[in-house]
Amino acid sequence: EFKDQGQEHIDVGESHNSYNSNPPTSGPHWIEPVRDGVYEKSQPDEGLGHSLEHGRVWISYKSSISESAKQKLRDIAKSQVRMVLTVRDANETDIAVTAWQRLDTFNLGADGSFDENRVVDFIARYRDKAPENGVTLPANMSGKEY
């Protein structure tokens, strides 16, 4: 659990203080959230912060993990609602699961696997536990990435 750094909306490109977690779990964020979905590219932390504010869970992973681990993460994300999955090489570990003020980070096992139940349990515990729950963000149907 991390201290709440607020919900300030900022303009794209506007500077702000650094976040107290990696990935961020609260703090200044863009007015436009990253839409629900599975992204094959990194998305801006400031856009994802707004998604978290609306109760989303964000799973991020380093691009260097195995394709089988990536596919398992995709399968988990697609089986859930109010989810965002992205690549994020700025992570300190292979995988990070993030919600408002909450973060679980871990590396893959020596065999390249991870505990899928750990991820699903985090989602169940912390999805929709944020300041602005219940806001509908349509899925990213256009394929547009920021």
Q: How far apart are CA 34 and CA 48, in angstroms?
A: 5
pLDDT tens digit sequence for 75-102: 999 999 999 999 999 999 999 999 999 9
* Mean pLDDT on 39-67: 97
**Structure confidence by residue, pLDDT tens digits, 118-142:** 999 999 999 999 998 766 655 543 3
- Ranges of H-type helices in 21-98: 45-53, 67-78
The predicted pLDDT at position 139 comes to 54
Q: Copy the structure tokens of residue 100.
A: 């408002």
Q: Please count the other Cβ atoms lying within 10 Å of the Cβ belonging to residue 77.
A: 21
Model confidence, pTM: 0.91
| 143 pLDDT above the threshold of 50 | no
